[in-house]
Structure 1
Amino acid sequence: MTTENWHRITCKAEYLVKCADVFFGDEGGSSIATTEGEICGKFGDQTLSGSWDWDGDYFYRTSMLGKLDLGSDWIVIDVTATKMRLTLEKGNGPQVVYDRKDAPLSPTAETDEIVFLSSFDIKHEAVEEFTQAMIDNQTAVRAETGSLEMRLFQGTADKGVFFVFGRTDGQAGLAEHIESVAERGIEGDTSAALNSKPIARHLGPAIAGGQYLALDRSAGADEMIVAAVFDLKPGTRDALVTQYGKQVPNVRAHSGCLSFNAYTVLGAPDQLAVVEIWESEAVARAFSTTDKLSVETGKLLTASVDGDIGSYLSPVTEIAPYVAG
């Protein structure tokens, strides 16, 4: 009888390197805990969603399976080269063993690149220090061989709002990024600046395909950039995805639109993410209020979002853009 060579994971840095962004599961389904703290998966016909962090010696998770609230738990994590064992209630509860799966995290159309959008709410007295830390981190990320794009945005009106948009070259690029982030310790360095826990999102394939700007482009002085994650009323996302399948190429055809991308959010069936860059706010506003399909899309979006749509659409400014040469 073969004895399994189990190894216990005792810290977040080790979990990020060995377990994050990898699917584990059984014949009933599989799930993934992402680098940015998201849990998502599918078991039978039920969607698993939630968040995770590390607390002391334990993997700490809060999750839901379909409409069933699984609550929070502190879990002992043990692994082999091919399996993960979870022992609930700090090692004193039920135990389950999952196999490591080979499913990709978030393949986009025609590529295996992984796309993410994270947001931060920063204390105003810490904005300057946080900004510099993120610029330094961005410089390091851009030097990673698997990094395809890394952009940092700051709210134009509310300077404490930050977004990070990134793309990595598949699982290999992501693995390099995970190890690099753990080595730099950026999470610990910036934790005191946070008003609340960062929200990390892995995005699904870009609707109608991705449109990405040259890394070394020269940004115009009047450009308007919007990075928005819409919280939707239950059951409305599918109709919006269909609508954006028409709207995305319609917007891109306008000469004043420099880039327009819309995404579903993995593990969040009631969210839609949009990142758009326009020649100017005036051009964007004129198009959205006079183009027939844009007006139709705006009405559907307004009816679908949870809350006031204006609260989602605050412009942002890119910090430390790529430089030619």
Structure 2
Amino acid sequence: MITQIVKFDIKLEKIEEFKEALLNDQRGSKNDDGCLELRLFQDKKQPNIIFAYERFKNNDALTHHASQPYTAVVFDLLETSAQSAPLVMELNDTTPSPLHENNPKSANEEDDIFIIFFIFKIKPGYREKILNQFEIHIPSTRAQEAGNIIFDLYTVEGQDDTFAVYEHWRKESDVWDIHFNQPYAVETGKLMNEAVVGELEQYMNFVTEF
């Protein structure tokens, strides 16, 4: 399976046009054999930043999707809409792996979904420590916190110093008031403060799905 995050930086005057093209691409992808998931998000504080979270069965499925006319429209529009080249991050699973279709949790109608992309860089010597700590952190979060829907950690292909956390919560307070006060999250926070290059906040994107 291929999982990737694509980060777009779009000119403000082109955002709505570009979002509509992405939505059309998403609608088309539902008929693509091998496209498992394509979700679209916009940063709450920086509306010019847009993310696509994509999963494909294999390389052939990704190539097929990229060759479709609705995807070509997105590629063409990027030439006039993007402020910089899209950042494509191919993701590798960690342990425990993402649950995807096997996730027993799903959003409820009353949930005010809070979504985070936390893509961060670490100092040399911390990679294994981060992986080991999240082997505790992730199953604890999934099993013990009713407010959590998705919590996945990925490494980024070709970037040994980069990790991506992808999170969905039922509401924002589930993160700040509950999650960060759990003992395993406190331990993770201590490690992250040591390991991450610069301030943690710079790597956090709070997004809305569209």
Note whether the superposition's TM-score is higher than 0.5: yes
Deviation of 1:298 (Å): 1.4
Q: Which amino acid aligns with 1:280?
A: K
Does the Cα contact within 8 Å between 2:92 and 2:156 map onto a contact in 1? Answer: yes
**Aligned counterpart, 2:206:** 315
**Greater length-normalized contact order (CA 8 Å, ≥ 6 residues apart):** 2
Q: Which amino acid aligns with 2:202?
A: S
Deviation of 1:190 (Å): 2.1
Instruction: Name the CA distance, whole Å, in 2 between partners of 1:196 and 1:223.
Output: 29
CA deviation map 1:40-62 (0-9, x unaligned): xxxxxxxxxxxxxxxxxxxxxxx
Out of 265, 276, 297, which is 2:167 matched to?
Answer: 276
**Aligned counterpart, 1:195:** 83
Tell me if 1:224 matches 2:144.
no
TM-score by length of 2: 0.89
Out of 306, 315, 321, which is 2:197 matched to?
Answer: 306
**Partner-residue secondary structure (3-state), 1:314:** strand
Share of identical aligned residues, percent?
29
Instruction: Name the CA distance, whole Å, in 1 between partners of 2:109 and 2:55.
Output: 20
Does the Cα contact within 8 Å between 2:155 and 2:162 map onto a contact in 1? Answer: yes
Deviation of 1:132 (Å): 1.0
**Aligned counterpart, 1:248:** 138
Deviation of 1:285 (Å): 1.0
Instruction: Name the CA distance, whole Å, in 1 between partners of 2:43 and 2:194.
Output: 25
Instruction: Name the CA distance, whole Å, in 2 between partners of 1:197 and 1:136.
Output: 21
Q: Which has the higher helix share?
A: 2
Q: How many residues align?
A: 206
Moved more, 170-179 or 231-240: 170-179
Structure 2: gaps of 5 or more residues: none
Compared with structure 1, are the counterparts of its residues 288 and 255 closer, same or farther at alpha carbon in structure 2 (3 Å cutoff)?
closer
Deviation of 1:133 (Å): 1.3
Out of 163, 170, 178, which is 1:287 matched to?
Answer: 178
Does the Cα contact within 8 Å between 1:237 and 1:272 map onto a contact in 2? Answer: no
CA deviation map 1:167-225 (0-9, x unaligned): 111233223223327972421222221111111011012430112268x9656452110
Does the Cα contact within 8 Å between 1:262 and 1:275 map onto a contact in 2? Answer: yes
Q: Which amino acid aligns with 1:302?
A: N
**Aligned counterpart, 2:46:** 158
Does the Cα contact within 8 Å between 1:207 and 1:263 map onto a contact in 2? Answer: no
Q: Which amino acid aligns with 1:209?
A: S
Q: Which amino acid aligns with 1:238?
A: E
Extract structure 1 runs of 4+ deviating beyond 3 A: 216-221
Q: Which has the higher strand share?
A: 1
Deviation of 1:265 (Å): 0.7
Deviation of 1:306 (Å): 1.5
Compared with structure 1, are the counterparts of its residues 183 and 261 closer, same or farther at alpha carbon in structure 2 (3 Å cutoff)?
closer
Structure 1: gaps of 5 or more residues: 1-112, 320-325
**Partner-residue secondary structure (3-state), 2:85:** coil
**Aligned counterpart, 2:68:** 180
Q: Which amino acid aligns with 2:122?
A: L
Instruction: Name the CA distance, whole Å, in 2 between partners of 1:210 and 1:150.
Output: 15
Deviation of 1:287 (Å): 2.5
Q: Which amino acid aligns with 1:155?
A: D
CA deviation map 1:244-292 (0-9, x unaligned): 1111101111111011100011111000001000111101112233211
Q: Which amino acid aligns with 1:261?
A: D
**Partner-residue secondary structure (3-state), 1:177:** helix
Instruction: Name the CA distance, whole Å, in 2 between partners of 1:219 and 1:194.
Output: 34
Q: Larger radius of gyration, structure 1 or 2? A: 1
Does the Cα contact within 8 Å between 2:21 and 2:73 map onto a contact in 1? Answer: no
**Partner-residue secondary structure (3-state), 2:165:** strand
Q: CA RMSD of the aligned region, Å? A: 2.1
Instruction: Name the CA distance, whole Å, in 2 between partners of 1:129 and 1:123.
Output: 10
Q: Which residues of 2 match residues 75-114 of structure 1 at below 5 A? A: 113-114=1-2
